[in-house]
Chain A
Amino acid sequence: MVNVNPQVIIQTINLNCFYGRMQALTNLNIEVYKNEILGIIGPANSGKTTFLRALNRLNYLNPTYSQKGAVIFDNQNADDIPDDMLRKRIGIIFALPQTLPTSIFQNVAYGPKVHGIKKKSELQGIVESALKKAYLWDEVKDRLDMPAPRLSGGQQQRLCIARTLAVEPEVILYDEPCSGLDPISTAKVEDAMGELKSDYTQILVTNNTKQAARVSDRTAFFLMGEMVEIGLTNTIFTTPQDKRTDDYVTGRFG
């Protein structure tokens, strides 16, 4: 499950993140390995989402945001990669299913289109394979022209995954992707994540510790803007080093 000699794809060095004067992340040093699923757990306001959005610089959409330290992606300082190129390589799935108010097809084809693919036949191929990888193809193949917002919540979330896959990223970030979904939809999203493991590095932020235990290879525990502990998922959930981690995963926290 875990490489003997894992290849680091993302690394942060003394990453500090601020919204105005409020510090959201403190001295974060973390390494993400290629093709792993890294789970991030922790209570609200622990900096999980800030960490995720720091990786593809989405935090900068908030005008008060600033950061210190470095994010290294693929041996390159992320600050030196243009935003659009970085975000093409590091895709994100938001907490609530965020579809564009157009058809299913147009939602998935949007990314490839902005990256210059115009041929209809080529787009059709990309859309089909992305929807298949996201386990949605069979449910929507006969109604690709239907407005995407009419899909159910779980279908919309898998559509979002398909939309991200269509631009062929290297890393996929999930920001509590199942927070609004029922258990069956959640299982489908988790299945999709498992299938994607061979081709993508995935980082999963979740409020649901059981979900992290189910799908992630390694798990990190964040608390109040600091990473308390990171390790193999099994270790974190059975024999954590830090008492706070133990309290959190066993539900004694707070």
Chain B
Amino acid sequence: MNFARVREKIAFILLGATMLIIVLPILLIIWYIVSNGAGAVTWEFITQPPRNGMKQGGIMPAIVGTIILITGTMAFSLPLGILSAIYLVEYAKDNFFTRLIKLSIVNLSGIPSIVYGLFGFTLFVVYCKFGASILAGALTLAIMSLPVIITATKEALEAVPQSFREISLSLGATKWQTIRNCVLPYAIPGILTGTVLSLSRAAGETAPILFTVAAFYLPRLPHSLFDQVMAMPYHLYVISTQVPNMPLKLSFATGFVLIMVVFLMNLVSIVLRAHFRKKKQW
């Protein structure tokens, strides 16, 4: 009789099963999409605009549109998110006001994306008169991804040992020199993880771009920030629900390409992270 060993076995099986329950759906989803859609992903599909009521041709404008939107989102949310997290962690005094800000940020990440869409529509499209445009869409997505970027950056900064700051300050470095040389370099891997996670989510969102940028059918590429674009998540939504007699494999193919774009973003972040980890030697 060895209860400890039996319990150990039960715990192992239980934890392993949990793991399986989490991983299985992901694998199934990917397998389902790949097996149904991969066949339709041809060179034409990713380089041609849609034709014939979107039933033929490709989704090139939607791919380009999504990439532009993500780049725009990154351009706004990355500096804003990282700088405000630096302020919160390194500069802000621990008072009622700071705690209020931190609470708001946590709450912002719980707001449904459609609400961000409506907010972006009211503020950027109507009030700022940007119209439905790349600018309005990217700003809306940026606001939506800010809470996660701020939270991830905050945690990455807080994980840097306090002793690094003390060493730097004790040698007569200024606060900013300390942050720049002794804190940020060691926080970058964590910041990257959070940022890419947040941007991946932004890449796949439909609701925030619904009223702010996404075009139903726009085969030409945008000329300025004030143009509309097609975007993959919205395109997927449209061809799956609004276009009758749509070949199913085209929807899956679109989903497949969207997943690949997100996967590529993650790949870039993994490579960058490995590069920065090499610097970290403790």
**A residues apposed to B, CB below 8 Å:** 56, 58, 61, 63, 83-89, 91-92, 94, 98-102, 110-111, 113-115, 147-150, 163-164, 167
Contact = CB atoms under 8 A, between A and B. Distances in A.
Given A114-B181, A149-B282, A56 B170 contact: yes
B277 to A, nearest CB: 11
B245 to A, nearest CB: 61
B166 A94 contact: yes
B170 A92 contact: yes
- Classify the interface of chain B: helix, strand, loop or mixed: helix
B281 interface: yes
Nearest to A150: B281
A110 B168 contact: yes
A70 B260 CA distance: 64
B169 A61 contact: yes
A84 B181 contact: no
Given A91-B171, A114-B172, A114-B181, A101 B166 contact: no
Interface of chain A: mostly helix, strand, loop or mixed: helix
A94 B94 CA distance: 26
B94 A61 contact: no
Contact of A149 (B162, B169, B182, B281): B281
B47 interface: no
B165 interface: yes
Nearest to A169: B172
A110 B171 contact: yes
Given A101-B281, A110-B181, A61 B166 contact: yes
Given A98-B163, A114-B181, A88 B281 contact: no
B164 A58 contact: no
A91 B182 CA distance: 18
Nearest to B163: A98
